[in-house]
């Protein structure tokens, strides 16, 4: 326990963790099984273009998710784009601003207009009454994001979509392995898009998938991801190269096998965080409705500056100096980023909850490499930070910030990366 402000690493004390704990560290999977699959791919001579590994991966995903069609693609952004094209979206698509920038960028890149609606404070997913205010004659779809794995308010959004004759789609990049009530996420709405990026609980290094029970959407997705090619001498539509490689599918299959263990560890870690952070004034672990089961891949904490005594950004700096590389996803908020910032066409309604949460949330490290003892130490660190908040705030203003030696955000390390 840090007893004096001067013991905090941000003010020059020793860092709590010499080996940093990282949000987004790729999850380990069974190396032998992966290498065995890599050898199978190399032996087969089929490295990409819809080989047996991708087909097996799609089949296993469909069985796991309880959905009829899975179309594996090269990454989550491509999944969003292929899904939008296959659903023949036009004009405007309503999305939350509290999401990774890929959600609106994928649409904008397709010539669609992302329109930002506000979110619900508790689930941090689209607020149906805000969505309703964004719908107009140009709207072709609502694209909900199951943020942090919290399911959207599917029923209300589906009702809105039905009433207005528009599609309901989901960006499910955070929600692999999560459920909406008893139903696995992956078969909701017209279609869902997943990311299997290396930082995700279910990963294929780079990769993604569109999942759907709509056969015609699945068929169009398969065409679009492969240049619209339907046969050796037949091209049926416009398309792009969004294919998943056999090596990515080999990684994905291996990752899928370790998923139950990873979810178990993450859920345990979330419980440890709740216990250790309970009672720290101004901190709240954000968790969604208990009737849904989560993969707990993100541990999201809200910092109430007035109660805690330090802003979220100050807490982040204190933690990072100690070797706890927490993040503030998704600052600055998509509606504050180019090309959307300051454009009422993208933000026709106010986003008060989004703006509040963008100032409050941070994500703490979890996953298989984060132990109960690590979480105990992080809890103690946050407790001491709150206890010394006044002094820390004062001294952090005066003193030069000290960085963890391995922090990639350290100005000299960041500058070297930029130059390279």
Binding site for ligand T4K (CB under 6 A): 22, 24-26, 75-77, 99-100, 102-103, 145, 171, 173-174, 195, 197-199, 208, 325, 329
Q: Counting beta carbons within 10 angstroms of the beta carbon of residue 74, is it exposed (0 to 12), middle (13 to 18) or buried (19 or more)?
A: buried
How far apart, in whole angstroms, are the C-alpha atoms of residue 58 and residue 54?
6
How far apart, in whole angstroms, are the C-alpha atoms of residue 48 and residue 247?
8
Closer CB to ligand T4K, 189 or 282, in the complex: 189
Closer CB to ligand T4K, 195 or 386, in the complex: 195
- The answer to whether 357 touches 121, Cβ cutoff 8 Å, is yes
Output the smallest distance, CB 290 to ligand T4K, in A. Answer: 23
Residues in the chain: 420
Collect all residues with Cβ–Cβ distance below 8 Å to 361 and sequence separation of at least 6: 124, 286, 300, 301, 302, 303, 312, 328, 329
How far apart, in whole angstroms, are the C-alpha atoms of residue 92 and residue 87?
13
How far apart, in whole angstroms, are the C-alpha atoms of residue 400 and residue 410?
13
Closer CB to ligand T4K, 26 or 91, in the complex: 26
Output the smallest distance, CB 80 to ligand T4K, in A. Answer: 6
Output the smallest distance, CB 170 to ligand T4K, in A. Answer: 10
Residue nearest to ligand T4K (CB): 76
Output the smallest distance, CB 221 to ligand T4K, in A. Answer: 16
Output the smallest distance, CB 109 to ligand T4K, in A. Answer: 12
* CA distances for 351 relative to 23, 100, 276, angstroms: 27, 16, 32
Closer CB to ligand T4K, 22 or 72, in the complex: 22
Closer CB to ligand T4K, 99 or 288, in the complex: 99
* CA distances for 407 relative to 11, 239, 302, angstroms: 16, 41, 23
Output the smallest distance, CB 7 to ligand T4K, in A. Answer: 25
Output the smallest distance, CB 120 to ligand T4K, in A. Answer: 16
Residue 168, SS3 per DSSP? strand
Closer CB to ligand T4K, 102 or 224, in the complex: 102
Q: Map tokens 């979330």 to a residue.
A: 270
Closer CB to ligand T4K, 296 or 384, in the complex: 296
Output the smallest distance, CB 105 to ligand T4K, in A. Answer: 9
Q: Apex CA 75: angle with CA 249 and CA 185, to 5°?
A: 85
The bridge status of strand 234-235 relative to strand 229-231 is antiparallel
Closer CB to ligand T4K, 16 or 195, in the complex: 195
């Amino acid at each position: 326990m840090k007893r004096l402000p001067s013991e905090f690493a941000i003010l020059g004390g020793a860092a709590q963790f010499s080996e940093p704990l990282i949000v987004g560290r790729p999850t380990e999977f069974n190396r032998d099984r992966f290498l065995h699959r890599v050898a199978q791919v190399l032996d087969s001579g089929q490295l990409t273009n819809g080989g047996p590994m991708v087909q097996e991966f799609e089949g296993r995903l469909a069985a796991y998710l309880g959905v009829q069609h899975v179309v594996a693609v090269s990454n989550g952004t491509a999944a969003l784009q292929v899904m939008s094209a296959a659903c023949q979206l036009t004009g405007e698509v309503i999305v939350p601003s509290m999401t990774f920038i890929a959600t609106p960028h994928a649409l904008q890149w397709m010539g669609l207009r992302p329109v930002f609606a506000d979110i619900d404070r508790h689930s941090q997913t689209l607020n149906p009454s805000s969505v309703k205010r964004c719908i107009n004659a140009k709207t072709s779809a609502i694209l909900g994001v199951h943020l942090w794995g919290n399911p959207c308010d599917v029923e209300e959004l589906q009702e809105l979509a039905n009433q207005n004759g528009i599609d309901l789609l989901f960006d499910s990049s955070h929600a692999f392995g999560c459920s909406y009530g008893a139903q696995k996420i992956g078969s909701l709405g017209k279609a869902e898009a997943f990311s299997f990026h290396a930082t995700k609980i279910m990963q294929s290094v780079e990769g993604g998938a569109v999942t759907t029970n709509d056969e015609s959407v699945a068929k169009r997705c398969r065409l679009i991801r492969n240049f619209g090619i339907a046969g050796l001498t037949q091209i049926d539509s416009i398309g792009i190269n969004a294919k998943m490689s056999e090596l990515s599918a080999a990684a994905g299959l291996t990752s899928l096998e370790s998923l139950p263990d990873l979810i178990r560890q993450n859920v345990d870690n979330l419980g440890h965080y709740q216990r250790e952070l309970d009672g720290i004034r101004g901190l709240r672990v954000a968790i969604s409705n208990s009737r849904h089961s989560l993969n707990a891949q993100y541990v999201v904490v809200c910092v109430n500056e007035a109660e805690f005594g330090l802003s979220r950004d100050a807490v982040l700096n204190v933690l990072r100096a100690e070797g706890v590389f927490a993040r503030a996803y998704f600052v600055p908020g998509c509606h504050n980023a180019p090309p959307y910032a300051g454009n009422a066409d993208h933000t026709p309604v106010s986003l008060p909850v989004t703006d509040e949460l963008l100032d409050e949330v941070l994500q703490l490290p979890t996953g298989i490499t984060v132990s109960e003892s690590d979480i105990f130490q992080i809890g103690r660190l946050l407790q001491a930070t709150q206890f010394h908040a006044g002094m820390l705030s004062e001294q952090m203003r005066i003193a030069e910030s000290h960085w963890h030696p391995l922090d990639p955000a350290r100005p000299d390390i960041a500058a070297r990366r930029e130059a390279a």
